[in-house]
């Protein structure tokens, strides 16, 4: 909830409320749960109440918006680092108030990252249309199973930009071959659906283009004393797929018990791309 953040892909973080519950393997060593428990902010879990943050905290993005308007520099806000924007148990009225705040801060780019993309459609504001220009929608995909469960839901919602957080990266993620059922695959980086049996002379219908695609990929290893290891090949494969498709790729960290010591260089180079 600070103007300056140590997160390499954001300018600031903002939490409209605090609290969440685990929904997938990526949540097993949740840093937000650790912080909330240590500082006794809220209880964690499916039956725990989420706690709305203070009015002073809610006023911060208005200040950031004025600064961004004056400087003309990009100002990216990671929303809900200690919660989930599309949580069914959000405090009453908080989601509506958040949309009003986002609407009032057009010089900020709001990055809404969720592990619940299936909830997005029912929680969007009435005037969402094809997406607000200052909102990017993202979901976490820590392995292939979550990519195939969450990506179709995310990409079904119109947005100025769709992005992925492959952090903590717990296994290989092939965005070229995202299974959609009935034998169909989606290349999520170029916006194409295809069938593995298709050939150059196959009948029409085995390949279709022009679908929604992922416009940014963030990857990184898990941090903390219980961090599960990341294999370099997993990050390298994501980088190579993104490069081939012209999609910005951001490698945040290798993670581990001491993330700073482990660094963030991938094959000796920084890969910290962010969409324009």
Domains defined along the chain, listed by start: 12-175+214-262 (3.80.30)
State which H helix or E strand residue 58 sits in: helix 55-71
CA–CA dist 32, 81 (Å, integer): 7
- The radius of gyration of the chain's CA atoms, rounded to the nearest angstrom, is 19
CB contact at 8 A, 109 and 77: yes
* pLDDT higher than 70, residue 87: yes
* pLDDT higher than 70, residue 249: yes
* pLDDT higher than 90, residue 226: yes
CA–CA dist 43, 35 (Å, integer): 11
Q: How confident is the model at residue 198 (pLDDT cuts 50, 70, 90)?
A: low
pTM of the model: 0.95
CB contact at 8 A, 209 and 192: yes
Nearest to 79 by CA among 137, 151, 6: 137
The pLDDT mean for the chain works out to 95
Contacts with 54 (C-beta within 8 Å, 6 or more apart), sequence order: none
Q: What whole-number percentage of the chain has pLDDT above 70?
A: 97
Q: How confident is the model at residue 203 (pLDDT cuts 50, 70, 90)?
A: very low
């Amino acid at each position: 909830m600070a103007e300056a953040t140590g997160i390499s892909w954001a300018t600031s973080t903002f939490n409209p409320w605090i609290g969440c519950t685990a929904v997938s393997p990526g949540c097993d060593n949740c840093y937000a749960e650790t912080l909330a428990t240590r500082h006794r902010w809220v209880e964690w879990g499916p039956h725990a109440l989420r706690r709305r943050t203070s009015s002073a905290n809610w006023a911060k993005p208005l200040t950031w918006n004025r600064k961004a308007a004056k400087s003309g520099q990009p100002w990216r806000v990671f929303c809900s680092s200690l919660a989930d924007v599309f949580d069914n148990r959000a405090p009453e009225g908080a989601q509506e108030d958040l949309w009003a705040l986002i609407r009032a801060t057009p010089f900020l780019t709001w990055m809404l990252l969720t592990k619940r993309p299936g909830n997005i459609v029912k929680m969007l504001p009435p005037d969402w249309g094809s997406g607000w220009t200052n909102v990017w929608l993202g979901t976490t995909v820590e392995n292939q199973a979550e990519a195939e469960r969450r990506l179709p839901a995310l990409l079904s919602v119109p947005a100025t930009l769709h992005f992925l957080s492959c952090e903590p990266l717990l296994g290989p993620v092939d965005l070229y071959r995202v299974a959609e059922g009935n034998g169909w695959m989606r290349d999520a980086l170029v916006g194409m659906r295809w069938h593995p049996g298709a050939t150059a002379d196959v009948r029409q219908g085995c390949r279709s283009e022009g679908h929604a695609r992922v416009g940014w990929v963030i990857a990184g290893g898990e941090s903390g004393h219980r961090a599960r290891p990341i294999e370099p090949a997993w990050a390298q494969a994501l980088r190579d797929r993104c490069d081939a498709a012209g999609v910005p790729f951001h490698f945040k960290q290798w993670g581990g018990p001491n993330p700073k010591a482990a660094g963030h260089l991938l094959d000796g180079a920084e890969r910290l791309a962010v969409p324009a």
